Chain A
Amino acid sequence: MIDREKVEAALATVYDPCSVQANAPLSVTNMGLVTSLDLAPDGEVRITLRPTSPWCTMMGSIMQGIEKQLRKVDGVTGVTIEIDSTSLWSEADLTPEGREILETTRARSRAIRPVRRRQWQERAATAREV
């Protein structure tokens, strides 16, 4: 029998590439991409994943990453991953931990480079004066 906690821990080591690029690395779990996880007695793991958008071209590499990590778990004999094209992802699907990571990163970025809303209007006004 597969240990569910070990499978979930392995999933938590697979990261969404776009979040890594945005300097807020989030696992597929914290992103809320995994919509179902079933463990069969024979060691087969079945997962359903939702893309963040229908344009998401990273799904292949995310699936590869999941399979690679889950196959390291004792008792896992196979991994089947299906794409859930009916369920649409939004930020509301982040886990509380994922939300905290994102909010912390955003706050840090905004502190480094504060942005005032519509500050382009000041710049445009200055340019007109010059």
Chain B
Amino acid sequence: MFNDQLVIDAVAHAYDLSDANTESHRYAQIMRTMLCALHQTWQPDIGLTPEEQSSDWPIEVMARTLFLESDVDLAVTHTLRLNSYFKDGLCARYKTVEAIRRWPQRFFGYVGLDPTLGLDTCLRELDQQMDELPEAVGLKLYPAQVNPLRSWRMDDSGLAFPLFKAARDRGIKIVAIHKAAPLGPVPLNPFKLDDVGGAADAFPELAFEIVHAGWSFMDETLLQLATMPNIYANLECTSAFATRRPGQFEQMMGSFFAYGGPQKVIFSSGNMVLHSHPIIEMFRGFKFSDETMSRFGIPQITKDDLALVLGGNFARLAGLDTEGAKQRIANDEFAQERRSTGLQAPYSNWRRYLKDGKIGMAA
């Protein structure tokens, strides 16, 4: 909890970075190397080795990492469709289903689609996934794939719009699009943001999350946040700047608050690749410096602003009954264990599962 408000980590992923799941081509190998480097170099005191990371991460470990090793109350997990890099897409559909089935009081689920496969395939898979997981509140998308290089646009009225319409009609409230962080040495255009506004304009009843907002193309991101009521900055991985480059993170937050406002920023860590706890701890004491307030012409951040960022905004978009949610988690298995053990050490559960041989490491 923060300020008596729920802390919601709006992106959590249980990757499969095992050798067996990683395609042999250079794009996939580079992606895995970069993810492992991000984990290790940006968390030098707590991260695991690349060999330890190059495994299939169980959803149970992700849940324990989130709810026993940090003050995250609820989390959002996505089915990922990076199938041109990882055979199961990186976070398999069954993991999202497992999270929702085992801990419905703790998780939101996003279905995942690959629009480069065409509209018919997407519509069919959307129905399949929504039939399986009618509780899903979001749709996760990537703008490009490799082998061969191919991409699509969010403002494509022949592909994206029928897909968004179908998703909305099936109850999806939020569309999350990976942007700003190119997936390997690939063409950069698909990772720019000029196509998001057209989608947001055509579907005002949907919320659009720019995932990794601020990682690059900051000016373009601010344009989208400033102009469209239903575009939001999702801080997945960007939030790691809070611990590694706090000055730079403050500048990002100053920009987001100036152009979008506190209602437009959504906390997420990307757990397990980055741990939620150090980031949340930084947020607890986060203040704008006089220089930042002067530079951006913004007032000091308030506890209410922070509560919006750390969970209030996502709860609003997802239509969550926050008081009901607090009651549902007050005495669940994580709350009981947490009361018994206190806050557990970062990645202690992951390390224990590895040590006990419950996770197979890469050779």
Contact = CB atoms under 8 A, between A and B. Distances in A.
Interface of A: 17-18, 21-22, 52-55, 57-58, 60-61, 85, 88, 90-91, 106, 109, 113, 115-121, 123-124, 127
A17 to B, nearest CB: 6
Contacts, number: 81
Contact of B226 (A52, A54, A120, A124): A120
A21 B215 contact: no
B182 interface: yes
A64 to B, nearest CB: 9
Interface stretch (B36-44, B50-58, B306-314, B316-324): B36-44
Interface size class of B (residues with CB under 8 A): 35 or more
A118 B227 CA distance: 7
Contacts of A123: 227-229
B182 A58 contact: yes
Contacts of A61: 185
Nearest to A24: B219
Contacts of B204: 127
A98 to B, nearest CB: 15
Contacts of B245: 88, 90
Contacts of B216: 18, 22, 52-53
A106 B219 contact: yes
Contact of B37 (A52, A85, A117, A121): A85
Interface string B209-224: 0000001110110110
Contacts of B248: 90
A120 B229 contact: yes
